[in-house]
Amino acid sequence: MSDTNSPQDWDALAERVARHVDNYLSGLEAVARGDGGTRTIPLLLLEVSQVILAGAQLGASADVILPDNSEPEVGDDPDLDAIRQGLNERLVGLDEYVEVFDPYKDTEPTSYRLSDDLVDVASDLVHGLRHYQQGRPLEALWWWQYSYFNHWGNHAGAALRALHAYVSNARLDVAPEPATEVASA
C-alpha dist (Å) from residue 170 to 52, 99, 142, 161, 175: 23, 19, 38, 14, 11
Q: 88, 95 in Cβ contact below 8 A?
A: yes
Query: What is the rounded CA–CA span in Å between residue 20 and residue 53?
Result: 8
Picking from 133, 97, 145, the residue whose alpha carbon sits closest to that of residue 118 is 97
CB 51 within 8 A of CB 26: no
Percent with pLDDT over 90 in the chain: 70
**Chain mean pLDDT for the chain:** 88
pLDDT of 6 above 80: no
pLDDT of amino acid 4: 54
3-class state of residue 79 by DSSP: coil
- For the chain, the first-to-last Cα distance in angstroms comes to 64
Identify the residue with better confidence: 114 or 103.
Answer: 114
pTM score: 0.84
- Domain 7-171 fold is Four Helix Bundle (Hemerythrin (Met), subunit A) (1.20.120)
When pLDDT is averaged across residues 35-49 and rounded to a whole number, the result is 95
Least confident piece of the model among 35-49, 99-113, 114-128, 166-180: 166-180
> What span, in angstroms and rounded, lies between the C-alpha atoms of 119 and 29?
10
Residue-range domain boundaries for the chain: 7-171
- Look up residue 166 and give its DSSP letter: H
What value does the mean pLDDT take over residues 88-101? 90
> Residue 181's pLDDT band (boundaries 50, 70, 90)?
low
Residue 179 has a pLDDT of: 55
- Checking if the pLDDT of 19 tops 80, the result is yes
Of the pLDDT bands very low, low, confident and very high (cuts 50, 70, 90), residue 1 is: very low
